[in-house]
Structure 1
Amino acid sequence: MTAAWRHGNTVCLLENGEAFFPRVFEAIRAARQEVLLETFILFDDKVGQELRQALIEAAQRGVEIDVTVDGYGSDCLDEAFIGGLTEAGVRFHIFDPRPRVFGFRVNALRRMHRKIVVVDSQVAFVGGINYSADHLAEFGPDAKQDYAAQLQGPIVEDIRRFARDAVHGGRRRRWPRRRGPAHAASGEGAALFVTRDNDRHSTDIERYYRAGFRTAQHEIIVANAYFFPGYRLLRDLRNAARRGVRVRLILQGEPDMPIAQLAARTLYDYLLSAGVIIYEYCERPLHGKVACIDDEWATVGSSNLDPLSLALNLEANVVVRDQAFTAELRDSLEELIQRHCRRITPQHGMKRVLRRLWFGVAVFHFLHRFPAWAAAFPSRDPLLQRVEPPQPTAPTDEARHD
């Protein structure tokens, strides 16, 4: 699907599970025709159970429902959890399901990392929040900081078309007839739905980030959980800072994956020397994948700025041109900076300079070459397995006589 700007949308920022889950569950409970849902992680916890119940109730009302989870991210779901959904009529799909080998997940590359919901062609959700309790503050110090966008207006049909084709491979089938004006303009925002795959759209998300950085006039704020982008994107950030744009990065200070923090820190000297301002978010693990540029450009989605998201995984972001939405996201990020971040300052000394030189050669050789190396990783056709409803158990001889 070719990305196109759609005008007349209403876009609402949803911060963390406290804002995101109620909106999604409410939309599913109000569904009358269709629900399309994709997620990397679905856990059998309080959040997963509430989603499951909302989907079952919708299916029992006759709503057509397709749910897709990733076989790596959601490999702990048991037959009882999935069986209750499929028995109610939910079409449940697993992307690249593979059994564990000696207790280890072996399908780590080329994951379905998208987080998308579309309900009745009227409302869509795109972001980075999975269906798990660790996106709620009550989870404790390890609760994740994250974002999603709720969208209404013409952009919803683009997201719907993409999600249904992802499930059915672009094959034609009879889809629920829409009720009401699915394409009616409902707001002021222009929105673009952009995805990354391992075929014709392998660099789309990165290209829109880079275009935003190159055209920035006065401000760039990026908050990204796993930051280890390609050489060209780093160069665009440095060039923006050098021409006077205020470039600020919010990265992990309390990482859920320490290796991600170590990788990002190898880039600090390179960025700081050009005037980029770097903060580490220290309140809890940062899981967001968002950015805002100047007064009206923003993006929210599933794509990190690291080799997995930019060169291997299947991702989805929404890019928005809307002053109110951009201001809302900027205000949220400013609050993180003011209340929960520490600023990184340059460090000096000969030992530091030598270490920087060594890391610089190794790191930038890797970043420069990785897109080409990624082609050597397994590139099988994505397998989407539909889970069939449980079969009724045949009665025993004793039961037949009763």
Structure 2
Amino acid sequence: MSYEWRDGNQVELLINGEEFYPRVFEAIRTARKEVLLETFIIFEDKVGAELQQALIQAAGNGARVEITVDGYGTADLSAPFLAEMIEAGVKIHMFDPSPRVLGMRTNLFRRLHRKVVVVDAELAFIGGINYSADHLGDFGPMAKQDYAVAVRGPIVADIHRDTLQMLSPAERDSSKLTPVTRHAGDSRIRLSVRDNDERNDDIEKQYLDAMRNAQHRMVIANAYFFPGYRLIREMRNASRRGVKVTLILQGQPDMPWARGFSRLLYNYLLREGITIYEYCQRPLHGKVALIDREWSTVGSSNLDPLSLSLNLEANLIIRDPAFNQRLYDHLINLASEHCKPISLERILRGYWWRAPIIFLSFHFLRHFPAIAGWLPAHTPKLKSLKTVAINDGTSEVCFEQEKVS
């Protein structure tokens, strides 16, 4: 099922953990009815600890609290950390947990990469920010630059319904809340998700439609940038029409290979008149874009093979001139103050010996989703975490398989 555009919403841009965490933790702590949370990563650090206590407080308020985490991204939480939540009434579900082989995690592909929170079916958050201290500036040079949005209004009903779909039928049916859908603002918003079922290219389609209709400007800030040919072609076509296309990509990456893959495309993009900046102040983890003066998107989906073809993702597509302008002003300031422009002359240095590598790597990565697609697809498959008391007073965690359809 694809979601429709919803009018009458309020949307607020939240930049980095400094703006996101206080808002989401306060919303969770004051929940009275329900908290639904999905995330790729929770680390057992000061941010994870604050999230844990906020969830425990919500459960203490009498709210139903359901959190779903990824079995790869959130694989190392300790049994006592989890047990404290479970004993307080927080229900924890893990997406595709798998045992390590020779100390290595094997569940690499088709991850639950979404970052969604819905509180009391009235307020929702979507973005790219995980629950870890590396999203705060005091983490140091490797602190991540990232984004989320807080929304109220009719769109929350779609987000609430979609988040419930991740749970088992019994858990879905236990939610008796009617989402608050009254008019909250002037934003027109559409929920766009990618799964491994009927909506496997919905986010990509939203980008493509907006790019084909672009007339003035396009700014994309993306952490892991290696889109397929269709997206690259529409960027090229937009640039040829006179649209000013600007890319803000990683210059100080948390994963160096990510910048290496992106740079495979620089020569082609620069020759088409596309402007490229590399953000060098800190690792860029954002997944945001804007086109012209109304269309914007914020969410969890990168423009790379994992996000566009394999992972479970969630973005909001936002039509709101004021929001678009705020995001534009921020990104252009980011580019001018904290980025270095990439020139074609610089990229062509040593190109003669790198060209064959670029050619082979580009075509391998273009076909990577199809290759990875030979692996079994992960439909929403969850295991519920339970605690078992040990004689010495410690706790260990065991799993109970859930049936999700």
Q: TM-score, normalised by structure 1?
A: 0.93
The alpha carbon displacement at 1:367 in A equals: 4.9
The 1-side partners of 2:377 and 2:276 are apart by 35
Code of the residue aligned with 1:384 in structure 2: it is: L
Instruction: Find 1:346's aligned residue among 326, 330, 344.
Output: 344
* SS of residue paired to 1:320: strand
**SS of aligned partner of 1:8:** strand
1:141 to partner: Cα distance: 0.3
For residues 197-233 of structure 1, the C-alpha deviation after alignment (integer angstroms, 9 at most, x for no partner) is 1111111111111111111111000000000110111
Partner residue, 2:262: 264
Structure 2 counterpart SS, 1:388? strand
Which aligned pairs between 1:184-333 and structure 2 lie closer than 5 A?
Answer: 184-333=182-331
Selected match of 1:385 from 363, 383, 386: 383
Shift of 1:364: 4.4
* Partner in structure 2 of residue 362 of structure 1: 360
CA distance in 2, matches of 1:240, 1:363: 25
Bigger mean CA deviation after superposition, 43-52 or 350-359 = 350-359
Give distance in 2, aligned partners of 1:298 and 1:237.
16
SS at match of 1:138: helix
CA distance in 2, matches of 1:129, 1:42: 10
Match of 1:31 in 2: 31
Pair 273,104 (structure 1): closer, same or farther in 2 beyond 3 Å: same
CA apart distance, 1:29: 1.4
Q: How does 1:53-68 map to 2 (within 5 A)?
A: 53-68=53-68
Question: For each residue in 1:231-267, what CA deviation from the matched residue of structure 2 results, as whole angstroms up to 9, or x when unmatched?
Answer: 1111111111111000000000000000000000010
| Structure 2 counterpart of 1:114, one-letter code | R
Partner Cα separation in structure 2 for residue 185 and residue 170 of structure 1: 31
1:390-401 correspondence to structure 2 within 5 Å: 390-391=388-389
> What root-mean-square deviation, in Å, do the aligned CA atoms of Structure 1 and Structure 2 show?
2.0
Kept after mapping to 1: 8 A contact 2:227/2:305: yes
For 1:147 and 1:165, locate their aligned partners in 2 and report how far apart those are by CA, in whole Å. Answer: 24
For residues 81 and 243 of structure 2, the distance between their equivalents in structure 1, rounded to whole angstroms, comes to 50
Q: Secondary structure at the match of 1:365?
A: helix
Instruction: Indicate the larger mover: 131-140 or 350-359.
Output: 350-359
Q: What secondary structure sits across from 1:166 in the alignment?
A: coil
Q: CA shift at 1:127, angstroms?
A: 0.2
Task: Give the Cα–Cα distance (whole angstroms) in 2 for the partners of residues 249 and 359 of structure 1.
Answer: 23
Question: Within 1, Cα distance between the matches of 2:29 and 2:267?
Answer: 50
Structure 1: distance between partners of 2:304 and 2:172: 35
CA distance in 1, matches of 2:295, 2:266: 25
Segment of structure 1 superposing worse, 128-137 or 346-355? 346-355
Is the 1:229–1:367 contact (alpha carbons within 8 Å) kept by the matching residues of 2?
no
- Amino acid across the alignment from 2:26: E
Distance 1:273 1:355 in 2: 19
Q: State the secondary structure of the residue aligned to 1:167.
A: coil
Task: Using the TM superposition, give the Cα deviation of residue 348 of structure 1 relative to its aligned residue in structure 2, in angstroms.
Answer: 7.5
Counterparts in 2 of 1:372 and 1:98: CA distance versus 1, 3 Å: closer
* Paired AA for residue 182 in structure 2: A
Amino acid corresponding to residue 125 of structure 1 in structure 2 = F
- Between the aligned partners of 2:348 and 2:86, the Cα distance in structure 1 is 63
- Is this contact kept in 2: 1:115–1:129, CA < 8 A? yes
In structure 2, the CA distance between the partners of 1:102 and 1:186, relative to structure 1 (3 Å rule), is same
> 1: CA distance between counterparts of 2:76 and 2:367?
35
Cα distance change on mapping 1:393 and 1:293 into 2, 3 Å:
same
Which deviates the most, 128-137 or 325-334? 325-334
Distance 1:209 1:186 in 2: 26
* Contact map agreement 1:255 1:285 (CA 8 A) in 2: yes
User: Within 1, Cα distance between the matches of 2:85 and 2:148?
Assistant: 25
- Could you tell me how far apart the structure 1 residues matched to 2:23 and 2:347 are? 52
Figure out how many residues of one structure are paired with residues of the other and give that number: 393
> Structure 1 residue 392: deviation in Å?
8.3
Question: Residue 269 of structure 1 contacts residue 356 of structure 1 at CA under 8 Å; is this kept in 2?
Answer: no
Rounded Cα–Cα distance in structure 1 between residues aligned with 2:309 and 2:211:
19
Offset of residue 71 of structure 1: 0.8
Instruction: Report which stretch shifted further, 277-286 or 55-64.
Output: 55-64
Mapped partners of 1:295, 1:362: distance in 2: 38
